[in-house]
Structure 1
Amino acid sequence: MIDKHLHSLVQKMTLEEKVAQLIQLATPFYEASKDRGQITGPMVEMGITEDIVTSSGSVLGASGAQEVINIQKHHLQNNRLGIPLLFMADIVHGYKTIFPVPLAIGCSWDLELAEESARIAAKEAAVSGVHVTFAPMVDLVRDPRWGRVMETTGEDPHLNSEFARAFVRGFQGNDLKNQTDRVAACVKHFAAYGAPEGGRDYNTVNMSERQLRESYLPAYKAALDEGCEMVMTAFNTVDGVPASGNKWLMRDLLREEWNFEGVLISDWGAVKELIPHGVAEDEKEAAYKALTAGVDIEMMTACYVNHLKDLINEGEISEAVVDESVLRILRLKDRLGLFDAPFRGADVEAEREIVLSNENRRAARELAAKSCVLLKNEGFLPLDRSQKVAVIGPFAQNGDILGPWSWAGSKEQSVQVLDGLRNKLDASSIYSAEGCGIETITEAQLKDALDTASRADVIVLALGEHSDMSGEAGCRADIRLPKVQLELISHLKQLGKPMAAVLFNGRPLDLHGVIDQVDAVLEAWYPGTEGGAAIADLLYGDVNPSAKLTMSFPYSVGQVPVYYNKFNTGRPKDAPDAQERYVSQYLDIPNDPLLPFGFGLSYTTFSYHEASLSSQALTVGEPINLSVTVENTGQAAGEEIVQLYIRDVAGEVVRPLKELKAFKKIFLQPGEKKRIDFAITEEQLRYYHSDLSYHSDPGKFIAFVGPNSQEGIALPFRLNK
């Protein structure tokens, strides 16, 4: 009945009105926008007329309930058929209440808190008028030079898939029409955007279809299986064809094989970028290739509105193809309830109460504390409240801890490191100095830092990258801390006082010059609005660190890409009969990363023992059970993330040395033991073969259970068929 109504609506639309539904324009294009005056030039350049704006289908980047209401009201007064606009925005890790960046959230290994962060982000965004968020980003990443690693949850397909599902559940709920405090999710970037050559954004991606399916596609599929409403195309090529014009990727795989019936949107300007990619001569050909590939909405370029009518009149494209895209867009608007309630959840008064509420801040503080990874601790942390502390570094009193994609957040309303510590201690026990800028240093800054530190018992260094040094287009070839910060550490080291470094960054770093100079390292990432409070909780032991890395930290940038689930070679370095030189190795650095996937310290210690399998043989339909005892052998209560990996010893194609298959978070008091069980099933042993068939092979496997990807107890078993 609903579709009948929508089909009827499509039939009433002129071709121009249909095509206009397929363009997404930024907020200033709309007359009721508060930024309207900024757009006159771009409208002329793009060939956008007022008629196109009046008939357009969606808006990018509107901010605040009142502005959304104003734009929607004006639009409905002028749109001939009264079709409401869709309002979309990048709500990636929070709206006003900013949570840690997704890479940090991944390090929590906490799916419930991840889902809750998305639910809160959706609630704040929805009351502010947003209908769709361009999240989650689920691109698998292995190269920390790429700035957008901060926007993903890491290097593992299984873990990324679990977080993809959690974020979609949090954003969307289970009934978008009636849950007006939720937003539609748009998974991105389809596909393999996280594998650009050289770690350089927008660059070429080149891999086999088998690798694409094995490692890069699972998280997108998981998001769609969870009901994600939209998909965004990637900027990159897939097998030589840019994603936004890739018919195999979008029509054959996404639409036909995966049965995705939702809306497909290009990334900003990606349709027109088919021209510099070299697969379209002009905008007309770009429009043809994007639409025939299945892209429903063109974001912020005008190839569709300027050329689709001519392509239809010339018989190059059927109007029915345009109708399909329009119908998908109208269906999404209907699922959101916009035809009945065009202002949906936008509410100016409720916005004041809900956005950045104390309750939301508490959730942000909890997740931030569970996302910071303790990378080193030589008995220094937690700090003693009787100690005098010097907080030194460019992030000591810096609100730039929200990270990229926090455009609606407020640096001024964030809790800085010094703020957090002052809430723990008497003001007379805390000293502070900037020491240096992020990339600059003066003699006066250095002298102030040394004088300040000399008065304290311990030093807390607040160091890191400016948020512009990561995120989209934030790629770096040198992934060490800026040189001036390493100089600051070296000078302070000469004082002989214990030092802890707290790091704010959006990527794994080369930590040489840091981890070898200080007594403790806490990786805080960009922790969000309550970052300073969460860090103080961790430094003073009010919260015990529990996070573990979901992306390896390289020993050197020369190793990149370096990741745990790697292939072996015919001449592995650690083979029993390996020769000294003629093996796969570097002559000057280790093969292994400095810190592996799954690694993270605590203020307590855990031991693993009495691991066993219920059977040495696994058969189809009859799982075996892996059981292990985990004991808290330290003096503090703490959480441990127990990780299960499996190796397929001999496959039809080379298999990774280890693959994460399951994990469990447990809480143990000092001296407490728990028996942890994992079911191992035949389904977990399946993989893509050389002919792209997906199944398991009988033979030998090894299960590993332990605290990270490098340590664990090995238990062999066989799959019998």
Structure 2
Amino acid sequence: MRQLLDRLTLREKIGQLNQRLPGWDALRVNGSRLEVTDALRREVDRFGGIGSLYGLQRADPWSGRHWGNGIPPERSAEAAALVQAYVVGHSSSGLPTLFVEEAPHGLQGLGGQVLPVNLAVGATWDDDLVAELAALVAAQLRGRGIHVALLSGLDLLRDPRWGRAEECFSEDPYLAARLAAATVTAMQGTGTRIDDTHVAVVVKHLAAQGAGIGGRNGSGAPLGWRELHEIHLPAARAAARAGVAGYMAAYNDVDGVACSANRDLLTGVLRENWCWEGIVMADCTALDRLLDAAPDHAHAGALALRAGVDVSFWDQAYVVLDEALDRGLIEMADIDRACARVLGLKQRLGLLDHQTMDDETSFGTEASTGSESRAGDDALAHRQAHRLAHQLARESIVLLSNAGVLPLAAGQRLAVVGPNADDLAAQLGDYTAPRPVPDPDSSTVRSALLELGFAVSYAAGSKLRERLPGGLDAVRAAVDAADVAVVVVGGSSRRLYESEFAENGAVAGADLGMTSGEGVDLSRVAIDPVQIEVARAAREAGRPVVGVVIGGRPHSVTEFAGFCDALIFSAFPGPTGGDALADILTGVESPSGRLPVTLPGGEGVWPVAHDERRETSRGYADASYTDNVLLGTGLSYSTFEACVLKASAEPGLRAEVHVRVRNTGGRAARFVVPLFGRRHVLGIRPRVRQVVGHAAVRLEAGAERDVVFRLGAAQLGTVSARGLLEATPGHLDVWVSGDLHPPTDAVRIEVLP
């Protein structure tokens, strides 16, 4: 590697650290031909190569790519090979580029597998299923010639007003860490080498972006070191242990220091404390935003490079690293260190296999011809992924209340009403490529219930934040003709091709059709008043009402719930969401999802996370936390009992907790068992509770099973000032009920240093 690095010129090294060209501008679809563009030619000439290329296959309103002008899935590998061949053949360095794509819940490219969003994934509490799907997604990406997947998963949802809530697994660090580690391991594989069925993962965002002031995207996170390490870094630490290839530095600052210029975070924590080796990528245009703390681009680039950022993302700051070097702001060793990390990732992916230290010409381009056998494999993988995505969507559905209305009975006449009752786009979430039309793999609540043979009358009633002329009259007429009303409300991250976008792709303008997504932070999170009017109209018709909330954030459902005899929460469940919801509504499957976040009881009652520190304050004089719907809430069509039988501890921060689970109901069902805990250490105010373990069991009616939870340093340790877990005398109370505080049958574990 040293010989390879030494033969590169300064210009070529800087080229390896830059990711400047929008990938969709690198290739043009010209009838049946794929052609490289002049923009690609200029970029290769400018830096003697391209280190990374973001978004070659991205399709969405921001990129302007769709089924009419984007790269079709059957030609995606060909497109990547064509660009790679040009980069390798026409650059002075001869180095291949890294193809980087968004994959927060499946590939954001035409025909890419689309999964439920992370908030839905968190509701499954099923890391095994998540891993199985993630492996299929990784194979699809690599088959298309993609090397690096940008994956959300590090952000902890600490404020429901934040528009990117859907990208978070949970508000709880334990649950987020489990799911992040499972996803990284499945997508990258377990070895140091990343083979041709896996991709390198860059997880985002580091760190504390979910704790922005006021729930505003990219705002500061005014946190102390303990809060940072206990809440916002466990998922990142779990990814490091799983061997993650890279991290993306967040936009926000932590206590005034921007994450992309935070040496304590990017070098001190990642590389020195955690002994992690990999690349750090800046978020899109984040380095140029450092100009509010630096006099010019050269200083901004120097701040980021010396902090530990290896790859820039559409910034001017890394274009002028040669200027920063000339001015003494950085040293050549800083550039070499970052460049070596980029080359190390290419080596880990096998991109340098055909390169010897004294041969400058031969690199693989991973060309693929799309043979018949490959097409058959792709079809099989697609069917398997579709089946698992449907299972994931089904497991993510949370039944919050049920007064005996569910499951629906065969032969009932249904009124399916509300703005999200028949709107596929409202199920998909942000960072989603356009679906094909027609789309045989997709379903809405209305279409799925029709497919099951129900007589369905339909009325949207309203838009998400706008009334429809005659909408409420149409709702009343539909419900009058039905036995049960299914009212489907919530939100949407739908982007439009005519929308206004910021330079980093976030939504910039107001759009009444969007209530979630990057750039869509809200001051209020209750179900919109115009949707409440739809629920009221359905209730006034005198029929039982089943409420379904499809959304991308923890909505306040208190008012809406007052009109419902049963209530379901479904974070954006993806294209199979309609079928999944129909399975739950009709009793094909018993609901097993549990909230991965707390739903606020009303507006302005912040914070709401279940694991906040205990307070001496009595709270607000005009509002209460009692209406909050806690993390872990979720009902079944059966009934279950769970209790802690015993717990034992050993020195070295190890303990075992034995829990017995019994199905006391009349049908087989899956049941998620969260293990809650409260850690007590002298002199440190405890948290109300935290998740310290979880398991899922499927039991027949009347059956029981014992589950063993094995706890370690993450649950029993205390965070030191350096962010390391250490043994400190104290105890941990554990329980399995949904109580916010330890019940009388909680079991105490003494921590043995």
> What's the TM-score, normalizing by structure 1?
0.90
- Once residues 248 and 714 of structure 2 are traced to their aligned partners in structure 1, the CA distance between those partners, rounded to angstroms, is 29
> Residue 470 of structure 2 aligns to a residue in which SS?
helix
Q: Does structure 1 residue 79 correspond to structure 2 residue 112?
A: no
- Once residues 439 and 351 of structure 1 are traced to their aligned partners in structure 2, the CA distance between those partners, rounded to angstroms, is 44
Q: Does structure 1 residue 672 correspond to structure 2 residue 723?
A: no
Q: Does structure 1 residue 407 correspond to structure 2 residue 433?
A: yes
Distance 1:613 1:108, change over 3 A: same
After TM superposition, the structure 1 stretch with the greater mean CA deviation from structure 2, 31-40 or 197-206, is: 31-40
Given that residues 23 and 297 in structure 1 are in contact (C-alpha distance below 8 angstroms), is that contact kept between their aligned partners in structure 2? yes
Distance 1:39 1:65, change over 3 A: closer
> Residue 211 of structure 1 aligns to a residue in which SS?
helix
Q: Does structure 1 residue 604 correspond to structure 2 residue 638?
A: yes
> Residue 376 of structure 1 aligns to a residue in which SS?
strand
How big is the shift at 1:294?
A: 1.5
- Once residues 24 and 668 of structure 2 are traced to their aligned partners in structure 1, the CA distance between those partners, rounded to angstroms, is 55
> Residue 357 of structure 1 aligns to a residue in which SS?
helix
How big is the shift at 1:257?
A: 1.9
Match of 1:507 among 553, 556, 561: 553
Structure 2 equivalent of residue 613 of structure 1? 646
- Once residues 256 and 652 of structure 2 are traced to their aligned partners in structure 1, the CA distance between those partners, rounded to angstroms, is 40
Deviations 1:11-55 (A, max 9, x none): 222111111111113445755344999999xx89xxx75522652
> Residue 243 of structure 2 aligns to a residue in which SS?
coil
Q: Note the 1:85-164 alignment, pairs <5 A.
A: 85-95=97-107, 96-164=112-180
Q: Does structure 1 residue 7 correspond to structure 2 residue 2?
A: yes
Structure 2 equivalent of residue 32 of structure 1? 27
Match of 1:344 among 354, 366, 387: 366
Match of 1:631 among 628, 649, 662: 662
Q: Note the 1:214-233 alignment, pairs <5 A.
A: 214-233=230-249
Q: Does structure 1 residue 58 correspond to structure 2 residue 36?
A: no
> Residue 560 of structure 2 aligns to a residue in which SS?
coil
- Once residues 513 and 402 of structure 1 are traced to their aligned partners in structure 2, the CA distance between those partners, rounded to angstroms, is 25
Structure 2 equivalent of residue 579 of structure 1? none
Structure 2 equivalent of residue 663 of structure 1? 694
Deviations 1:534-587 (A, max 9, x none): 111111111110010110011113122211112223x3xxxxxxxxxxx51222
Structure 2 equivalent of residue 463 of structure 1? 489
Q: Note the 1:119-268 alignment, pairs <5 A.
A: 119-175=135-191, 179-268=195-284
- Once residues 23 and 154 of structure 2 are traced to their aligned partners in structure 1, the CA distance between those partners, rounded to angstroms, is 29
Distance 1:343 1:456, change over 3 A: farther
Structure 2 equivalent of residue 374 of structure 1? 399
Distance 1:411 1:480, change over 3 A: farther
Amino acid at match of 2:639: T
Structure 2 equivalent of residue 23 of structure 1? 18
Amino acid at match of 2:446: L
Distance 1:301 1:626, change over 3 A: closer
Amino acid at match of 1:19: I
Structure 1 equivalent of residue 293 of structure 2? 279
Amino acid at match of 1:396: A
Structure 2 equivalent of residue 595 of structure 1? 629
How big is the shift at 1:659?
A: 2.1
Distance 1:11 1:352, change over 3 A: farther
How big is the shift at 1:445?
A: 2.5
Amino acid at match of 2:750: R
Distance 1:71 1:102, change over 3 A: same
Identity across the alignment (%): 30
Q: Note the 1:309-348 alignment, pairs <5 A.
A: 309-339=322-352, 340=354, 342-344=364-366, 348=370
How big is the shift at 1:327?
A: 1.3
Distance 1:352 1:503, change over 3 A: farther
Given that residues 288 and 297 in structure 2 are in contact (C-alpha distance below 8 angstroms), is that contact kept between their aligned partners in structure 1? yes
Given that residues 29 and 53 in structure 1 are in contact (C-alpha distance below 8 angstroms), is that contact kept between their aligned partners in structure 2? no
Given that residues 713 and 725 in structure 2 are in contact (C-alpha distance below 8 angstroms), is that contact kept between their aligned partners in structure 1? no
The root-mean-square deviation of aligned C-alpha atoms, in Å, is 2.6
> What's the TM-score, normalizing by structure 2?
0.87
Structure 2 equivalent of residue 445 of structure 1? 471
Structure 1 equivalent of residue 609 of structure 2? 563
Structure 2 equivalent of residue 703 of structure 1? 734
Given that residues 526 and 602 in structure 2 are in contact (C-alpha distance below 8 angstroms), is that contact kept between their aligned partners in structure 1? no
How big is the shift at 1:692?
A: 6.0
Given that residues 98 and 409 in structure 1 are in contact (C-alpha distance below 8 angstroms), is that contact kept between their aligned partners in structure 2? no
How big is the shift at 1:182?
A: 1.3
After TM superposition, the structure 1 stretch with the greater mean CA deviation from structure 2, 233-242 or 585-594, is: 585-594
- Once residues 689 and 251 of structure 1 are traced to their aligned partners in structure 2, the CA distance between those partners, rounded to angstroms, is 18
After TM superposition, the structure 1 stretch with the greater mean CA deviation from structure 2, 348-357 or 504-513, is: 348-357
- Number of aligned residues: 692
How big is the shift at 1:308?
A: 1.2
Distance 1:346 1:325, change over 3 A: farther
After TM superposition, the structure 1 stretch with the greater mean CA deviation from structure 2, 53-62 or 199-208, is: 53-62
- Once residues 9 and 297 of structure 2 are traced to their aligned partners in structure 1, the CA distance between those partners, rounded to angstroms, is 22
Given that residues 689 and 741 in structure 2 are in contact (C-alpha distance below 8 angstroms), is that contact kept between their aligned partners in structure 1? no
Match of 2:79 among 51, 61, 67: 67
Structure 2: which 5+ residue stretches go unaligned? Answer: 58-75, 355-362, 494-513
Amino acid at match of 2:717: R
Distance 1:280 1:351, change over 3 A: farther
Deviations 1:187-245 (A, max 9, x none): 11111111100000010111111211121111101101101001110101123111111
How big is the shift at 1:175?
A: 4.5
- Once residues 320 and 101 of structure 1 are traced to their aligned partners in structure 2, the CA distance between those partners, rounded to angstroms, is 41
Q: Does structure 1 residue 718 correspond to structure 2 residue 750?
A: yes
Q: Does structure 1 residue 538 correspond to structure 2 residue 584?
A: yes
Distance 1:598 1:55, change over 3 A: same
How big is the shift at 1:351?
A: 6.4
Amino acid at match of 1:515: A
Given that residues 68 and 346 in structure 1 are in contact (C-alpha distance below 8 angstroms), is that contact kept between their aligned partners in structure 2? no
Given that residues 128 and 345 in structure 1 are in contact (C-alpha distance below 8 angstroms), is that contact kept between their aligned partners in structure 2? no
How big is the shift at 1:686?
A: 1.2
After TM superposition, the structure 1 stretch with the greater mean CA deviation from structure 2, 693-702 or 318-327, is: 693-702
How big is the shift at 1:314?
A: 3.1
Structure 2 equivalent of residue 423 of structure 1? 451
Amino acid at match of 1:376: S
Given that residues 106 and 163 in structure 1 are in contact (C-alpha distance below 8 angstroms), is that contact kept between their aligned partners in structure 2? yes
Given that residues 100 and 367 in structure 1 are in contact (C-alpha distance below 8 angstroms), is that contact kept between their aligned partners in structure 2? yes
Amino acid at match of 1:239: D
Amino acid at match of 1:381: L
> Residue 629 of structure 1 aligns to a residue in which SS?
strand
How big is the shift at 1:663?
A: 1.3
Structure 1: which 5+ residue stretches go unaligned? Answer: 1-5, 572-582
Amino acid at match of 1:607: E
> Residue 424 of structure 2 aligns to a residue in which SS?
coil
> Residue 269 of structure 1 aligns to a residue in which SS?
coil
